[in-house]
A and B are shown apart, each in its own frame.
Chain A
């Protein structure tokens, strides 16, 4: 090729490429909003650690669940506000006694290899998720859904084939429950209930989740999976709603250090990352369109050890209440954390669906009044400057937990003269100490499994395995049991929260907020969705 020819060829190539890009940019607009779309539709986001699994039957963490929601599709999806929208199921009917759900599936749902998604795929997936052979840590979710024989299958007393789920025909799925469960359909957006492709799972065993083997039915297919480094998924042309997918490629990068992630975000390598603790005020001032704080479905609290034989001082409810009153939560959320968290006087997160925060007297008092009341209660209990109370407070090793603990121990010291010994423990050690009752006061954090107040308040149930305080109150148990079947359980929840405020088995401190940086051109993020259930297929990037 002569130089001239080469130049011509290059010019032609450049022209074609440019024309193509212009064409793409000029014509690609969002089908609903009409916004001009960017030519590069790659969404890159950061997670802090590798997920234990991306197998729908085994998935157990939030980041893994997001991957599973992109690769697979269950009966229902959530929209931006958290409402149910059709996924593989178009609709369902419920029997009068609330025990039998009959789902009608769409006939155009496909696996990425071209097979049709059938009711039988769901039956297989659910039986697999419950089976002792898979031994999924999330098999309890099947039990939580109250599916007939679920508990017995998990315990190995019955065959997985006896699970209360049947394919009537390819597009009709019947589910039988052991008790009516008003929020059953809401539970179907979790990965545990998603279908898997039986032939693939049986052929490849554990390796079926590798990119070269996986067959999936979601809006994306897996193309790269390097543990602790990256996971890439790309548009699935076989997905029934592929025409409305805009993001072409989704890249999940594992970046363990959140400050490194922020640097990489600012260098333009990431479209989304977490805001490191304490940096929200600076970042939201500097990048007001990018730093976003939304409520996150978790509560932060301190728990008292109420077991027999635990320290006698904290068995006095007045002492516990005094300690709760003396914590200035506004200082914790505004000065220590400063990320849009909210002061908590109830255990249930304020933004939980259908929950109205009851009037807890402490919440409306001024901090000066709270402190006065705290001093009074503690004096009554027999502690003062001549007989100071001393408390051991333990938390799991983490900078943010340490800051909160130091602030609170200062508040207790200044207001009440309480001497606090702080100790931090590595996570596993901490969990063991807490469940063995080897503590006086310990840090706790609880995140909602589903968007309803009982996901928090059930921890106060005497027999709950998560009740590390070992708070025992028959009235609370009765209220919670009644709430399960009640059409409007708010009154019960109010009463339970009042018991928590009065008996103080735990001290609610704050309600979490999720604080993230989002690239300016990224649209479609479901900020309104309290559980932060997002789908890459709903996101898009606009042209700058």
Chain B
């Protein structure tokens, strides 16, 4: 098991390197640049700026400098767009925000999603089932860029219960609407996967045996059915968790939370190369880590799986 983890981590390093180089090349291939604007800068001013950010050096040297900065000093460089901040500042500012609302969205999505799915499977074809399926389909078809303004309209403008956006250091009032808007579609997917997985498990022989020997239903579900049910859910949760904690531009745009999603999208539009790279590396690393974590959890839940 340990050697499996090490092997995976060893593969992760070249994967990340390829990601860095590929992003770097694609980024430079895109038309425009970080210092293009409607008013082209006088050449001498542009030369000063390019010298300051090292953009006057040959392309290969820029990559080498960048990678060595990241590897040796964990230094992602200055932001080309936000001149008062470095990329490390931008991530240190935006990532905790996204992590907070992403984490709570994950908790809500998993709790509600799994409960709905299990309830629907146990009471298959009853009103509970129809209700759960109805809710999850409803949540799935309502995209969050529609739900976010609706939430604002109801809770901020009409009822006046919640602030219409901002972060304010992460007070709970500012968390509620982002969490609802971000968690619903994940919740819906989790509910559907849990339901079908649970239904499949409930029809297997070992469950029939458990019931035949007279175990109470509660015990059958929790002790025997839950673990195998969670396997397909788990493989969904790894990437879903990364998706939630690395940000949703929709949430940041509609609730002005100042999370990493907004920085990521803006950096692409502004050709803020260093911010694009910094966040790409962050998301890439997290994706690799959580996929690994899911694989480890798999082996822990299902003793049949061995690496």
Interface window among B43-51, B134-142, B188-196, B202-210: B43-51
Interface window among A26-34, A185-193, A386-394, A425-433: A425-433
Q: Is B152 an interface residue (CB 8 A)?
A: yes
Flag if B84 contacts A55 (CB, 8 Å). yes
Which residues of the partner chain A approach B45 to less than 8 Å between Cβ atoms? 135-137, 139-140, 154
A419-463: CB near B (< 8 Å → 1, else 0) gives 000000011110111010000000001100000000000000000
Q: B282 CB to closest chain A CB, in angstroms?
A: 16
Interface window among B118-126, B224-232, B253-261: B253-261
Flag if A264 contacts B164 (CB, 8 Å). yes
Flag if B32 contacts A428 (CB, 8 Å). yes
Q: Is A523 an interface residue (CB 8 A)?
A: no
Flag if A465 contacts B83 (CB, 8 Å). no
Which residues of the partner chain B approach A253 to less than 8 Å between Cβ atoms? 165-166, 256
Given contacts A253-B166, A259-B149, A431-B37, are A49 and B266 in contact (CB under 8 A)?
A: yes
Interface size on B, residues (CB 8 A): 56
How many Å lie between the Cα of A305 and that of B84 in the bound state?
38
Which residues of the partner chain A approach B167 to less than 8 Å between Cβ atoms? 226, 229-230
Q: Is B36 an interface residue (CB 8 A)?
A: yes
How many Å lie between the Cα of A427 and that of B167 in the bound state?
29
Flag if A54 contacts B84 (CB, 8 Å). yes
Which residues of the partner chain B approach A135 to less than 8 Å between Cβ atoms? 45, 48-49, 51-52
Given contacts A55-B83, A139-B45, A229-B166, are A466 and B253 in contact (CB under 8 A)?
A: no
Flag if B156 contacts A263 (CB, 8 Å). yes
Q: A506 CB to closest chain B CB, in angstroms?
A: 14
Q: Is B40 an interface residue (CB 8 A)?
A: yes
Q: Is B252 an interface residue (CB 8 A)?
A: yes
Q: Is A278 an interface residue (CB 8 A)?
A: no
Flag if A255 contacts B165 (CB, 8 Å). yes
Q: A262 CB to closest chain B CB, in angstroms?
A: 10
Which residues of the partner chain A approach B97 to less than 8 Å between Cβ atoms? 229
Flag if B51 contacts A264 (CB, 8 Å). no
How many Å lie between the Cα of A254 and that of B167 in the bound state?
11
Q: Is B297 an interface residue (CB 8 A)?
A: no
Chain A residues numbered 123-141 whose CB sits less than 8 Å from any CB in chain B: 132-133, 135-137, 139-140
Flag if A433 contacts B31 (CB, 8 Å). yes
Q: Is A266 an interface residue (CB 8 A)?
A: yes
Flag if B157 contacts A140 (CB, 8 Å). no
Flag if A431 contacts B83 (CB, 8 Å). no
How many Å lie between the Cα of A531 and that of B25 in the bound state?
41
Q: Is B71 an interface residue (CB 8 A)?
A: no
Flag if A227 contacts B256 (CB, 8 Å). no
Q: Is A58 an interface residue (CB 8 A)?
A: yes
Q: Is A20 an interface residue (CB 8 A)?
A: no
How many Å lie between the Cα of A264 and that of B153 in the bound state?
9
Q: Is B172 an interface residue (CB 8 A)?
A: no
How many Å lie between the Cα of A426 and that of B94 in the bound state?
25
Q: Is A206 an interface residue (CB 8 A)?
A: yes
Could you list 6 A-B pairs, sorted by A, with CB under 8 Å?
Answer: A154-B44, A155-B44, A226-B258, A228-B263, A446-B38, A465-B39
In order of increasing CB-CB distance, the 10 nearest A-B pairs are A428-B32, A229-B258, A264-B164, A135-B52, A228-B258, A135-B48, A53-B83, A155-B44, A432-B31, A132-B48
Known contacts A50-B266, A269-B163, then 19 further A-B pairs from the complex at CB < 8 Å, ordered by chain A residue: A50-B82, A52-B81, A53-B83, A55-B83, A55-B84, A58-B84, A139-B48, A210-B84, A226-B93, A227-B82, A228-B266, A256-B253, A263-B164, A267-B156, A267-B164, A428-B31, A431-B38, A432-B31, A466-B39
